[in-house]
A = this chain, B = another copy of it.
Amino acid sequence: MMIDTILVSLQQSGHRDTRPRRAIVEVIVGRQGAFTAREIVAEMAPHGFGRATVYRTLAALQSLGYVTRLHVGPECDRYTISDGSHHHHLVCTACGAVFPIAGCEVEQAAHTVARRIGFAVDGHHLDVYGRCATCGVRRRSED
């Protein structure tokens, strides 16, 4: 179970396996798509878990690489689950689904340009947004 893997990682990095944290991780894993801190806070409220806890947990997950911040259009407050191996995503603006982009292809293109001007690349961020196959089909028949 992905949830336990993450909780174990948290423990290994000196954190504890607590009820609020577990609930937050469960929600995030269950979503399988982009989400905002706001949304998680709303889902935690009924359980009596506060926003501070959500933000702190999100920060911890981010530093462990389990969560990545997306930059879709003008928005920069969305996150997605990540396994740390790829940094790029196709984000569906309709349903929030997130598909990983194999890093190599994009990275190669960026590095080609960088090399040409002697730029030393430290990192990069790419997010592509649009409609996933499911939502694209739905649009054609419903819009």
Contacts and interface: CB of A to CB of B under 8 A. Distances in A.
A120 B124 contact: no
Given A69-B74, A71-B76, A127 B124 contact: yes
Contacts of A109: 101, 105-106, 108-109
A107 to B, nearest CB: 9
Nearest to A76: B76
Q: How many copies does the complex hold?
A: 2
Nearest to A72: B125
A55 interface: no
Interface of A: 69, 71-74, 76, 88, 90, 92-93, 99, 101-102, 105-106, 108-110, 112-114, 117-133, 136
